Amino acid sequence: MKELKNKKFFVLDMDGTFYLGSSLIDGSMEFIEKLKQTGKGFMFFTNNSSRTSDYYINKLASMGCVINKDQIATSGDVTINFLKKYYPGKKIFLLATQIVEEQFRERGINLSKEDADAVVLTFDMTINYEKFNHACRLIRNGRDFIASHPDLNCPTEDGFIPDCGAM
């Protein structure tokens, strides 16, 4: 515990660490309150790229944890920044949920199914054989492959489900 007292800033995971499904894990809010009382900074970072930061801000608020946009990032956000830096203007075939696809577009990522320069995989719970097959063909034909995170499993209230890294 002594090591924690010396820390000034904490980066906190969410799925299976701060909450599970729609329920806080015991002690989660008490930890946040302690951080606030002691003047420690914190932010949430999730490798769950199936939703946007705005979604998670609202989800946390519904559980009584109110944060602002500067206190959260997803692996999708990091992937967007990576693409802007290393693939500016390139065509990207994105495997993602619709809301994440919209986020990528809004942030200036050039999404294209045809003639893609790279394939980007997020935690796409809407993936189907057609999308998966197209991505595999692009990768076999030499397109770069980028995954938003390597996790094999995602914790849920019903147990683990396949995540991005399982693909």
User: For residue 1, what pLDDT band results from cuts at 50, 70 and 90?
Assistant: low
Q: Is 108 left (phi over 0), alpha (psi -120 to 50) or beta?
A: left
Q: What is the mean pLDDT of residues 101-112?
A: 98
85 to 81, 88, 100, 155: CA distances (angstroms): 6, 6, 19, 31
- On the question of pLDDT at 157 being above 90, the answer is no
User: pLDDT tens-digit profile of 67-91?
Assistant: 999 999 999 999 999 999 999 999 9
Domain ranges of the chain: 2-74, 75-166
Within this chain, domains 2-74 and 75-166 share the same CATH topology: yes
User: pLDDT tens-digit profile of 135-153?
Assistant: 999 999 999 999 999 889 8
**CATH topology classification for 75-166:** Rossmann fold (3.40.50)
Looking at domain 2-74, its CATH architecture is 3-Layer(aba) Sandwich (3.40)
